[in-house]
Chains A and B, each alone.
Chain A
């Protein structure tokens, strides 16, 4: 009895030693790099795959990724951790938190980090809409990672049954089609309202139709920017959406159900949602699905849409060897091969021209035409001050207010004009507060 026990223990030890020899350096010798990320579901699985691929690709660093909730929750966790010096080395932060991160004093500019660690990254190779957002005064602030843009997903079977080949490229045309879908009883839910509708149906609408969202080139030209979207076509857009909601053409998913699942399950015929929905749609949709660019107003020459998604920030206060590991991972992420794999697996836009050209040369977009739609949409027309993107301080806060006010339109408590006036007024208070705190930055 005792001898068997001894034998099995020695056997285990031997196996352990073999395993350690096989993997080269043991886990303890590797420098641990902490990364907090904010995407879940299938996208989260792909992140874990990326991490394990990186860890296998070298033996000096061990990247540990932790899902910290959605973008706001991850940011809140970061803020709390930073105040007690428990921050991760890398943070994934959404474009809405860009100004907050940029002026936080808690980040290392990514070009400085890479140059110091001896990596040569071609910052000019990032595709134009991505570079236009993340490059501040000629220098990148963070590493563009998962960039997306909202596109119009539609159920091709339903459209065909109603006698349409594809969705119209104007809102007026799309409205007729959606009402036809309902009247012909093809579906009870022609369109689902996405959870981040303020991004896809308001901000992108404003950019594509070339309306100013705020003064000072949407915040690019100074912290003294003010919101002006209560004086543009956005008011008409909110009124249109309200009409659709009232007529049962646009359905609000509400709590307990992910809006995209209303589309993938076939309940709703269309949704304007992130291109990153590709992974969910490809896996779950059991009908003939397709996608198109977001419509524009009749008689308007459409501009590029704005990017969403997130970037990776290098956080201050970590030892030299950890920073070296962060740079090594950033360098790994920026490789065209990794970019290509990541884009294909998730549906995010390839962020470098090299990766895009590579995918194009392979004929990937011929086999997957919907994958090129976001790129087409992001590069429509010559970018203007209105379409380049948004740089508003505490944009999370003014976004929450905008959503709350538009909800008051859904409930009938306020007219679109009243709601947007109030939203602009409250949003401007936040901008002034931000300006006061960050004067001179």
Chain B
């Protein structure tokens, strides 16, 4: 908008010949109008002005950080930026040859896959049950949606405290049951705790989408199945679930993104990536190495690797959305 205003003012103030020149120049750059949509911008400046805010956001929050990460990934640098040595691919080779990084990658994969499918399974179960609940459906939905309203850091601190082996009440219960619960010394316990907290936090997200997807299944189809003698569970498995497949695929991608990138707050508050790196996922490692230990070169190389993964998931997600759009009942 501001750009087009500027042009108009310019036109008003300028003399005739200059205006003509501009118009002839404009006709040179202006593409043929054949094949354009019926409603399109005739003045390219207006269009540019309208997309400018979005482009600026992309510039500041995407392109500049990307450039920074890329430029740091190939150097070793003093934290204050005083000395910088170009090291080529050294940061990447030492990363891929480091057993700690490999452990972190395997852990991240395991954690993400388990988190993804367990979340989906529980959310699916709850969404299926929503249809069966007759009384107090609003309360039921409200309770399930509650965790989403709690900040990850807050919920993380609560989980850490409840399951603290020395003072936590729930840890005490586990001890009484004869389970030697100790996330400080048993990597499996730590991983279990982080996974449960991450799943608990994300069930509501999957739940909302699944409830909507199940509701979108036309009653006529379900009634037809009922007349054919299918019971609720069978109707759910053979009719509702396949028709909700695009949503499920979309949720799988979203759960992966969540597990990979958004569980940072939970890990930071519950385990700090420990014990001995047993809950140190790739994203948390970028933070640990870059912001705790100020090894900016390695941290930048790690974020470049993560960026490649993120791009992959973005493509997958677009595919998923496309399929959903094209899906017709």
Q: Is B243 an interface residue (CB 8 A)?
A: no
- A10 vs B114: C-alpha distance when bound (angstroms): 68
Q: Is A49 an interface residue (CB 8 A)?
A: no
- A412 vs B269: C-alpha distance when bound (angstroms): 24
CB atoms of B168 and A397 under 8 A apart? no
CB atoms of A254 and B183 under 8 A apart? yes
CB atoms of A106 and B82 under 8 A apart? yes
Q: Which residues of A contact B161 (CB under 8 A)?
A: 256-257
CB atoms of A413 and B187 under 8 A apart? yes
29 A-B pairs within 8 Å (CB atoms) are namely A75-B79, A76-B291, A82-B81, A100-B294, A103-B82, A104-B79, A104-B82, A105-B78, A105-B82, A252-B166, A252-B184, A252-B185, A254-B166, A254-B183, A255-B160, A255-B270, A255-B272, A257-B161, A396-B292, A407-B274, A410-B185, A412-B185, A413-B276, A433-B76, A436-B85, A437-B77, A437-B78, A437-B83, A438-B78
Given contacts A72-B291, A106-B80, A256-B168, 20 further A-B contacts (CB under 8 A): A79-B80, A82-B80, A82-B81, A83-B81, A104-B78, A104-B82, A105-B80, A252-B184, A254-B160, A256-B167, A257-B161, A257-B166, A394-B294, A396-B293, A397-B293, A404-B274, A408-B275, A411-B185, A437-B76, A437-B77
Q: Which residues of B contact A410 (CB under 8 A)?
A: 184-185, 275-276
In chain A, positions 227-256 with a C-beta closer than 8 Å to chain B are 245, 251-256
Q: Is A267 an interface residue (CB 8 A)?
A: yes
Main secondary structure of the interface of B (DSSP, over half): loop
Residue of A106, A189, A257, A405 near B164 (CB, 8 A) is A257
Q: Is A400 an interface residue (CB 8 A)?
A: yes
Q: Mark A244-277, 1 if CB is under 8 A from B, else 0.
A: 0100000111111100001000010000000000
CB atoms of A189 and B85 under 8 A apart? no
Known contacts A245-B185, A400-B293; is-contact A189 B166 (Cβ 8 Å): yes
Q: Is B195 an interface residue (CB 8 A)?
A: no
In chain A, positions 202-228 with a C-beta closer than 8 Å to chain B are none
CB-nearest residue of chain A to B189:
A411
CB atoms of B184 and A400 under 8 A apart? no
Q: Is B265 an interface residue (CB 8 A)?
A: no
Q: Which residues of A contact B276 (CB under 8 A)?
A: 404-405, 407-408, 410-411, 413
- A267 vs B167: C-alpha distance when bound (angstroms): 9
Interface, chain B (partner A; CB < 8 A):
76-83, 85, 157, 160-161, 164-168, 182-187, 269-272, 274-278, 288, 291-295
Q: How far is the CB of B287 from chain A (nearest CB, A)?
A: 10
CB atoms of B291 and A254 under 8 A apart? no
CB-nearest residue of chain B to A429:
B94
Interface, chain A (partner B; CB < 8 A):
72-73, 75-76, 79, 82-83, 100, 103-106, 189, 245, 251-257, 262, 267, 394, 396-397, 400, 404-405, 407-408, 410-413, 430, 433, 436-438
Known contacts A404-B276, A411-B275; is-contact A103 B166 (Cβ 8 Å): no
Known contacts A83-B81, A105-B82; is-contact A75 B166 (Cβ 8 Å): no
Q: How far is the CB of B182 from chain A (nearest CB, A)?
A: 8
Q: How far is the CB of A199 from chain B (nearest CB, A)?
A: 16
Known contacts A103-B78, A106-B80, A433-B76; is-contact A411 B187 (Cβ 8 Å): yes
Q: Which residues of A contact B272 (CB under 8 A)?
A: 255
Q: Which residues of B contact A253 (CB under 8 A)?
A: 164, 166, 184
CB atoms of A79 and B278 under 8 A apart? no
Known contacts A105-B82, A411-B187, A413-B187; is-contact A256 B164 (Cβ 8 Å): yes
- A412 vs B79: C-alpha distance when bound (angstroms): 35
Q: Which residues of B contact A394 (CB under 8 A)?
A: 293-295
CB atoms of A72 and B83 under 8 A apart? no
Q: Which residues of B contact A245 (CB under 8 A)?
A: 185
Q: Which residues of B contact A251 (CB under 8 A)?
A: 166
CB atoms of A438 and B83 under 8 A apart? yes
